[in-house]
Amino acid sequence: MKISGSEAIIKCLLEENVDLIYGYPGGAIMPFYDSLYHFQDKINHVLVRHEQGATHAAQGYSRSSGKVGVVIATSGPGATNLVTGIADAQIDSTPMVCITGQVSSNLLGSDAFQETDIIGITTPITKWNYQITKASEIASIFSKAFYIARSGRPGPVLIDITKDAQFEMTDFLYKKHKKLRSYNPKPEISDNSISDACTLINKAKKPFIIFGQGVILANAEEEFRVLMEKTGIPSAWTILGLSAVATDHPLNVGMVGMHGNYGPNVLTNECDLLIAIGMRFDDRVTGNLNHYAKQAKIIHLEIDPAEINKNVKVDVAVLGDLKNTLPKIIEKVEEKKHEKWLQKFRDLNHIEYDKVIKDDLFPKKEKITMGEVIHQINIATKGNAIIVTDVGQHQMVACRYAKFNESKSNITSGGLGTMGFALPAAIGAKMGAPKREVIAIIGDGGFQMTIQELGTIFQTGVPVKIVVLNNDFLGMVRQWQQLFFDKRYSSTEMVNPDFVAIANGYQIESERVSKRENLKESIQKMIDSPNPFFMEVVVGKEDNVFPMIPTGESVSNMRLS
């Protein structure tokens, strides 16, 4: 029995066990929505308020659940509104399948109403994309899309489907892909590389691990913990690697990068062996490459061959899925402790605590600090919540101070740095992990970029908790203007609306906190609420985030003030 192309799309989603999608209807995708009407009991469609919100919600869903996020949009502006979220997912390796409607195939190239070349636009920012013009292609293309999105180093794919292909009748047969010609998502593991890496690890006197999101994406958290504990090697996280290991683990020495911790940044340039695990040597991690770990041998464990020697020349490359490579290394490395070396990290942490952390978490100043808000959230959640952050000062503060006991707990926009990410991503994160507490930490600038998604919360009732840290500035840009542009605050001061009144307009319980004595009680009230909750916290206008590595400087030239 033949079915329409639009129904075939739905059957493909069901074959891939998709039961939740984020989207926004329109003319070119209307046949799909008409078919979806008959499958509402099997697929939950979340109507977002902007297509960018759909992509970020799908990212949050994917990051908290480990599944592929799915997004639906129409042609033209509907499709182009997905671009920022797709680019964000690509650089942060988030598996996502985006489905866009397109004008009928006979109109392609005619500049028809709401026609854009979304394939051409998204080719540089997707792992793979394809335009379907015949209903008979749907099953095989969708199978390929889901396989590519989730395998190897994951990422977003886009399928563009013409309107006539959605109407056209076709036979339906779905076969899941297990391999594709010329696509090798998991490189073959070299035993020689494993041996070479283990030799360096066993000889090292001052070894240092930097771990990234690759540990989480490979579901290799347990293997990584075993390696860390067997070798006794101090280990630091990248922003996206945060939560792969409990933040309070004694060998977890903090965060590397521009606003990371003092010890792991400075000692990067003192270690004799640097082991990079599932990270890509981003410029915010390395600082000036001409002065990055030049004294050290470098081992890079990575699934994507394109990342090897891209930014940092390595001595040993261990290609492969961390789930498979880490056990092979664990087997061959010697059990050790590096107490004297580890103590160096602790000593520098004491310096950072006295000069920075103490005043962030336990301030004597009148205004509430961002750090003490995160500290009070830690106390209330006991480190068991998912924290979703936007981009800016609050993001750096949250990543520095949030406590995590469980993996997949830190969700943020890393490589692209997308303001507006957190609110829709928190919606998706809560839907991906409904039993966990999900708290969005957002600045007043980023909040207003996707503020309309309060409507999605209102309609769905998804019980996310939202904390806006309001300093009436685009804080991170203002900090740079203060430090490097002689306080010329050009276009960074915000004149903000009444956020609480807006949240109330969406019937979301809300509260404004401007006094320290009310902070702890209000956070506990938010956590205890079974419903969505919005809290605005007024923080110091010109507070800065330190430590900081100025652009172009070495990681060892970290400023504490």
Q: Is residue 557 part of a domain?
A: no
Out of 163, 344, 403, 430, which one is annotated catalytic? 163
In angstroms, the CA 285 to CA 311 distance is: 11
Same-domain status, 375 and 302: no
Out of 7, 16, 32, 51, which one is annotated catalytic? 51
The whole model's pTM is what? 0.97
Annotated catalytic, 163?
A: yes
Q: Is residue 274 part of a domain?
A: yes
Out of 15, 30, 114, 336, which one is annotated catalytic? 114
Same-domain status, 431 and 518: yes
Same-domain status, 337 and 440: no
Q: Is residue 453 part of a domain?
A: yes
Same-domain status, 26 and 153: yes
Annotated catalytic, 102?
A: no
Q: Is residue 328 part of a domain?
A: yes
DSSP string, 499-522: HHHHHHHTT-EEEEE-SHHHHHHH
Domain around 150: 3-170
The per-residue b/e assignment along 25-59, b for 16 or more CB within 10 angstroms, e otherwise, is bbebbebbbebbeeeeeeeebbebbbbbbbbbbbb
Out of 42, 113, 484, 515, which one is annotated catalytic? 113
Q: Is residue 69 part of a domain?
A: yes
Given CA atoms 539, 541, 547, 548 in this order, what sign does their dihedral have?
positive
Same-domain status, 35 and 159: yes
Q: Is residue 559 part of a domain?
A: no
Annotated catalytic, 7?
A: no
Is the distance from CB of 309 to CB of 223 less than 8 angstroms? no
Out of 228, 255, 396, 476, which one is annotated catalytic? 476
Alpha helices (runs of H) in 418-531, residue ranges in sequence order: 422-432, 444-447, 454-460, 475-484, 499-505, 516-528
Mapped onto helix, strand or coil, the DSSP state of residue 241 is helix
Q: Is residue 105 part of a domain?
A: yes
Mapped onto helix, strand or coil, the DSSP state of residue 207 is strand
Which residue from 81, 80, 79, 61 is spatially nearest to 70, judged by alpha carbons?
Answer: 61
Same-domain status, 165 and 195: no
Same-domain status, 524 and 375: yes
Mapped onto helix, strand or coil, the DSSP state of residue 253 is strand
**Residue 327 confidence (pLDDT):** 98
CATH number at residue 195: 3.40.50.1220
Annotated catalytic, 358?
A: no
Q: Is residue 178 part of a domain?
A: no
CA-based radius of gyration for the chain: 24
Annotated catalytic, 113?
A: yes
Same-domain status, 163 and 245: no
Same-domain status, 48 and 156: yes
Per-residue pLDDT of the chain (561 residues; tens, 9 = 90+): 899 999 999 999 999 999 999 999 999 999 999 999 999 999 999 999 999 999 999 999 999 999 999 999 999 999 999 999 999 999 999 999 999 999 999 999 999 999 999 999 999 999 999 999 999 999 999 999 999 999 999 999 999 999 999 999 999 999 999 999 999 999 999 999 999 999 999 999 999 999 999 999 999 999 999 999 999 999 999 999 999 999 999 999 999 999 999 999 999 999 999 999 999 999 999 999 999 999 999 999 999 999 999 999 999 999 999 999 999 999 999 999 999 999 999 999 999 999 999 999 999 989 999 999 999 999 999 999 999 999 999 999 999 999 999 999 999 999 999 999 999 999 999 999 999 999 999 999 999 999 999 999 999 999 999 999 999 999 999 999 999 999 999 999 999 999 999 999 999 999 999 999 999 999 999 999 999 999 999 999 999 999 999 988 999 999 999
CATH number at residue 387: 3.40.50.970
Q: Report the number of distinct structural domains present in the chain.
A: 3
Same-domain status, 514 and 427: yes
44-47 β-sheet, strand order: 44-47, 20-23, 69-73, 96-102, 156-162, 128-132
Is the distance from CB of 373 to CB of 469 less than 8 angstroms? yes
**Residue 1 confidence (pLDDT):** 82
Same-domain status, 389 and 319: no
Same-domain status, 63 and 141: yes
